[in-house]
Structures are given as C-alpha cells and as structure tokens.
Amino acid sequence: MTDTVSGGLTRRGLLAAFAATAITAAPTYANAAGFLRGGGDIRRIKMYSGRTGERIDMIYWIEGDYIKDAVKEIHHFMRDWRTNDVKSIDLRTIDIMAAAHNMMAVSEPYMLLSGYRSPKTNAMLRSRSSGVAKNSLHLKGQAADLRLNSRSVNQIARAASACKAGGVGRYSGSNFVHMDCGPVRSWGR
C-alpha cells in the first residue's frame, strides 16, 4: 500500500487536512503540563499579524508528530517582518503558546507583535527602548510577544506561567505578554 493518495497528497497531509476541517478547537485541558507532555491528540496555533495582515490557523502536531509543512509555515509567519528574515522557531515556544491559548479557552487568535528578530532589528529596538535585551531569545527564535483583546495581560501571563516551561514577561503598559522557552522565570506587572 502506498503512502500517497491521488494528486500527490500524503496520508499525513490528508490526515492533517481532515483534522483541520473536522476539529473546530483543540480540547481544553486542566493544565498545560499534561498538554506539553503529549496529553492531547492535536496541537493548534492561531495567530494574526497586525504588521503584515497575515493570519494563521494551523494544526501543527498530531498524535505525537510535528507536521513538517505546518511548522515551516509557522516559521515563515513568525519571521522578522522588518527584514523578512526567517528563522526556525523553537518548537517548545510554539507548544507553550498553543498550550497557554488552549488553557484560556478562547477562540480569538493571538496577535503576534514579535517572533524572530534579526540582529539588525533587535539593535534598532534596543536603541529606542531599555526594555529590549541585548541577547534576546527573539534572536534565537525562542520567544514571542503576544496579545489577546479578550484577555488581560495578567490572564495571558497566568496561563503561560502555568506551563512551567519558560519565561513569561508582563508588559501591561504596552498590553502584551512575552513567552519563551528559556529558563522558567517571570517579570513585569
């Protein structure tokens, strides 16, 4: 039996397409830790970019396996929009984002403010703000700055912190939360 169906679509691609149309939302879990350890059958990420106008609603993991093409689209979506540079986003960061979103039981997509940042962009932002780290995890594709209109900074940060899987920064004055897959820590108000 072949792994490809007519039209060149693989079984995995067919399964992903079916899951994307058949499932309206990932199941809600009591906590993200179980989700991050594989407690669910699918993982989904929903975001839009106010900078580029792009949207993504992507099932990127099914039954223990990351979907290569979906992950590649997420990397492109989270690129440095100023330079158009793309870097692989650490899958742990994507998992934290998806788990936190899922725990909030919200259908609204995240607004992505910043994913990957090129050295040029990070240097420019550092020259404008003391809040931008010289060795930011954004430079490594390990961080994202996110916002939800339907949830407060504190609500988003609590969900991300519940993952116990990385750094969570509250930026209430700018209305966003930083999530990363670095050491577990938190800061901000």
Phi, psi of 18 (to 5 degrees): -60, -45
Starting at the edge strand that comes first in sequence, how are the strands of the sheet with 143-147 ordered?
65-66, 55-62, 42-48, 110-114, 143-147, 176-180, 167-171, 185-188
Q: Is residue 26 part of a domain?
A: yes
Strand, helix or coil for residue 66: strand
List CB contacts of 175: < 8 A, sequence separation 6 or more: 147, 153
> Which residues form the domain of 152?
9-188
Percentage of the chain exceeding pLDDT 70? 79
Q: Which residues partner with 80 through β-bridges?
A: 85
Query: Computed from CA positions of residues 77, 139, 68, 176, in that sequence, does the dihedral angle turn out positive or negative?
Result: negative
Q: Is residue 119 part of a domain?
A: yes
pLDDT at 129: 82
Model confidence pLDDT, tens digit, residues 65-111: 999 999 999 999 999 999 999 999 999 999 999 999 999 999 999 99
User: Residue 133 — pLDDT band, cuts 50, 70, 90?
Assistant: confident
Q: Is residue 3 part of a domain?
A: no
Q: What is the number of other CB atoms lying within 10 angstroms of the CB of residue 3?
A: 9
Q: What is the pTM of this model?
A: 0.79
Model confidence pLDDT, tens digit, residues 2-34: 444 444 445 455 444 444 433 333 333 344 445
- CATH number of 108's domain: 3.30.1380.10
Among the listed residues 179, 177, 142, 144, the one whose alpha carbon sits nearest the alpha carbon of residue 164: 179
- In total, how many domains does the chain have? 1
| Out of 18-22, 125-129, 144-148, 169-173, least confident range | 18-22
Q: Is residue 1 part of a domain?
A: no
